Structure 1
C-alpha cells in the first residue's frame, strides 16, 4: 500500500544554477500537489504572500468539484479558501492592507488545512495560546522581542470571523461558526497634562531630563528628532490618528492626507479616498497657533527644497520627513525615546495625543457635536469616553442635592 497523499502544500525550492542556460535561479516557494509543482513567484522573504497563493489554489481546486446549488456545511469549507477570498477581494480596500495581510498570514500559519467546522471555543483558545507564545515579527532580534499580545491574537480572530462572513455572503453556509475571543483589556484613556506635553516637546527638541535637571543631547540626536516636534504638535492640536500624520502632504493629493495653508484646513484623506465607517477622517480646521507653526515649517521646507533641487534631489512633499526623506510606516521608536528622555511613563504612546485632544476639548466645554466632528468620532463615543471631563458633568445632580439640603434648613 502506498503512502497517503499529503495534499497541496508549500515548499521552498532552493536557489540553483539552471543547467540549460547557466543562469542563477533564486529560491522560490512552490505549491506541491501530487505530481504538480506550481511556482508562486514568492521568495523566502514573502512567505505570507506564498501562503495566500496556496489558499487561492485550494479555493479554485475545491470550487471545481463543489456543488453550486446548495448551502455548504462548515466542515466542507477550508479556512484556506475563506482567507484567500477575503485577501483577494476585501483586504485591498481596507484602511491598512499590509497589516491585514500580515494578520491573515498569521492565521494561515496555524489554521491552514482546517475547515470552518473546526472553529470552536477550544480551537480559538488554543490559537490564542499559540500566538501569545510567539515573538512579534517586527523585532529584528526574536530573543528580545515582545510576545504577541492577547489583543493582537483577538484582532486576528476577528479578521477570520470577518472573512467567514464575507465568504457566507457569496457561498451560503448552513450555519456560521461561533468564534470565542480573549477578553478585551481596558485601553488607557489618560490624557497628557500641559506640563507633560511641554516635557515631550522639550525632549523632541534635543533635551534630556536627568537627576541634575535638563541637559542637551548631542547635535545628531537633535537632528534625528526634528520631525517629532511636528508629529507631537499636529497630534495634540488636531487629535488626528498617528497613522495618518506621516502621510500628510503640503499639496493637494488624491490618495493621501494634505494641508491647505491658504484656507486653514487639514484634509485627513485624499480627494479620491473613501472614508472608513470605523476610522473616519473628516477635514478639520487648523487652530491658529498650529497654523503659525505650519506656515513656519513650510518656509523651512521651501528653503530645504531649493537646496535639494540644486543638488539634483527630489523635493520634500510630506510635512513630516527625516532629513528630506518621507517617513515610512508608523512613528514608534523615536517617540519612545523622547518619552523616556522626558522622564515620563513608558506606557505613553502616540495615540495618547488623540485622548489628550478629546479631553482638552471637553474641558474647554466645546459642544459635543462640534468636538466629535473635529476629531472624527461619533458624538456617542465622545460623550461615553470623555464626557466626564466637561465642567458641567453631573453638575445638575450635585445642585439638586444642594437644593434639598438648603430646603430642610
Structure 2
C-alpha cells in the first residue's frame, strides 16, 4: 500500500539569483525546489497554489506501469517541458508492451524481451534506449512520490556510436535562406547556431531573459544534467532579436501564430529536406557551433563555458577540429628527422646508392 503524502511541508516561494520564483521545502532533511518558470509574483503565486494542491493528492495503491507513466507525463506537462512530445511518445511505446504489469514484476528479462520485440518492429537501439530511459525516469519519479520502490535494470542494448555530424557555414546559410518563408524557424536556426544551445533551451527562451541593456541572454535554469548558458549577444544576433522583438505577440522568443513553439522538429526536417541537407537536425546546429569555435582557435575554457558544457567534454568531442590539433605530437614522431648526421632524408640516400640497370 502506498504511503500517504506528508502535507505538513512548509512550502515557500523564493526568488533565485536569475530572478525566477521557486517553491522551496524540506523533505526528510533535504531541501527541494521546483521552479515556477516565472519572474512575475502573481503568476508564481498561482503556480504555488497548484503545486501544493497536487502534493495533497494521495498516491494510488499498487499502481500498474501505465498509471505511473501517466502520472509522470502529467508532471512533466505541468512543468512545461519542451520535450513533452518525446516523453509522450516514449510513454505510449512502453505502455503498449508493459502497461498492465506492476513495477515489482519488471525484471531484467522483462527489459530484454521489450528490446527484442521493439527490435523486431524495426526500431533502432537509440529509440529503444530512449523508451527505457523514460521508463526508468518515471519509476524513479513514482519512488520519490512514495508510490513504489523502483526496480533497477540495465540497458539491454548498446548505445549507438556518437555521431559527429556538423554543418559548414555555407550549409547553415542555405538552411536559413530556405527558412525565410517560415519566420519562427529562421529565427530558431539563427539563435541556435549563434548561441550554441540545445533545441529545448532555445524554444523555452522568453523575452524577459533577453537583456538588450546588458547585451546578454540568460537561457535559464539547468534541466537535469543539461546545462544552460548566460551569454553575450553578437552584433548580428542582437539585430535579429531586436527585429523579432518588435513583432512579438507572446512572451516566448520562438512563436508561431500567436503561440509559443514547443518543438521545431517537423518544420526543421521539412526545411532541411528542401535545402538538400537531410542530415542536419536541430542538435547538429549545436555540434556545428562547437566545431566552429574550435576551428577558430578559441580557448577551450571559454568555448565550453559559452556552450554550457565541461572542458573535458568539449575537448574530447570537438578538440580534433582545432587547427593545430596534435601537430606537436606528429612533429615529434617525424621519422625523416632521425638521420641528423648526413642531413639527408633516408629515402634520398637509398635513391642515390641505387645502381642503374
- Asked if 1:178 is matched to 2:135, the reply is no
Q: 1:335 aligns with which of 265, 268, 272?
A: 268
Counterpart pick for 2:204 among 233, 241, 247: 247
Q: Describe the SS at the equivalent of 1:357.
A: helix
Q: Is the 8 A contact 2:178 2:271 kept in 1?
A: yes
Q: Please state if 1:189 is matched with 2:164.
A: yes
Partner of 1:377: 309
The alignment status of 1:393 with 2:340, answered yes or no, reads: no
SS in 2 for 1:377: coil
Distance 1:341-1:158 versus aligned 2 partners, 3 A rule:
closer
Q: Distance in 2 between matches of 1:399 and 1:361?
A: 25
Distance 1:162 1:334 in 2: 28
TM-aligned CA distance change 1:327 to 1:171, over 3 Å: closer
Please say if 1:297 is aligned against 2:244.
yes
In the TM superposition, residue 93 of structure 1 has moved relative to its aligned partner by 5.5
Separation in structure 2 between the aligned mates of residue 343 and residue 168 of structure 1, nearest angstrom: 47
SS in 2 for 1:60: coil
Establish whether residue 152 from structure 1 lines up as the match of residue 85 from structure 2.
no
CA distance in 2, matches of 1:247, 1:85: 23
Quick one: distance in 2 between partners of 1:354 and 1:152? 21
Q: 1:367 offset after TM fit, Å?
A: 1.5
Q: Give the 3 Å change call, closer, same or farther, for CA 232–85 of structure 1 in structure 2.
A: closer
Q: Is 2:110 the partner of 1:110?
A: no
| Partner Cα separation in structure 1 for residue 147 and residue 99 of structure 2 | 19
Change (3 A) 1:397 1:244: same
Question: Does the Cα contact within 8 Å between 2:166 and 2:284 map onto a contact in 1?
Answer: yes
Matched, 1:263 2:249: no
Shift, 1:172, TM fit = 8.9
2:195 to 218, 238, 249: 238
2:60 matched to which residue of 1? 60
Change (3 A) 1:262 1:89: closer
Render the CA deviation track for 1:8-67: whole Å, top value 9, x for unaligned.
xxxxxxxxxxxxxxxxxxxxxxxxxxxxxxxxxxxxxxxxxxxxxxxx99x6334xxxxx
Q: Deviations over 1:362-405 (max 9, x none)?
A: 11122222111111112121111111111222122022124981
Partners of 1:127 and 1:335 in 2: CA distance? 31
Q: Is the 8 A contact 1:116 1:177 kept in 2?
A: no
What root-mean-square deviation, in Å, do the aligned CA atoms of Structure 1 and Structure 2 show? 3.4
Partner of 2:298: 366
Question: Deviation at 1:241?
Answer: 1.1
Report how far residue 191 of structure 1 moved: 1.4
Q: 1:167 to 1:330 in 2, by over 3 A?
A: closer
Which whole-Å CA distance do the structure 1 matches of 2:241 and 2:313 have between them? Answer: 30
Instruction: Give the number of the structure with larger relative contact order, counting CA–CA contacts within 8 Å between residues 6 or more apart.
Output: 2
After superposition, give the CA deviation of every residue in 1:306-343 in whole Å (9 maximum; x if it has no partner): xxxxxxxxx34433333x52343211232223222222
TM (norm. structure 1) is: 0.59
Answer whether contact 2:60 2:147 (CA < 8 A) is retained: no
1:117 and 1:177 in contact (8 A); partners too = no
Displacement of 1:361 in angstroms is 0.6
3-state DSSP class of the match of 1:266?
strand
- Give the alignment's TM-score, normalised by structure 2: 0.67
Q: 1:179-227 deviations in whole A, cap 9, x for unaligned?
A: 342222224222111111121122123xxxxxxxxxxxxxxxx3xx122
Secondary structure of the corresponding residue to residue 243 of structure 1:
helix
What's the offset of the Cα at 1:285? 1.0
Task: Give unmatched runs, 5+ long, in structure 1.
Answer: 1-55, 63-76, 135-146, 206-221, 253-257, 306-314
Higher mean Cα deviation, 104-113 or 93-102? 93-102
SS in 2 for 1:61: coil
Deviates more, 1:86-95 or 1:183-192: 86-95
Asked whether the 8 Å contact 1:91–1:97 carries over to 2, the reply is no
Aligned to 2:254: 320
For residues 184 and 290 of structure 2, the distance between their equivalents in structure 1, rounded to whole angstroms, comes to: 23
Structure 2 equivalent of residue 127 of structure 1: 114
Count of residue correspondences: 283
Query: How many Å separate the matches in 2 of 1:195 and 1:88?
Result: 42
Q: Residues 266 and 335 of structure 1: is their aligned pair in 2 closer, same or farther, counting only changes over 3 Å?
A: same
Structure 2: which 5+ residue stretches go unaligned? Answer: 1-56, 344-357
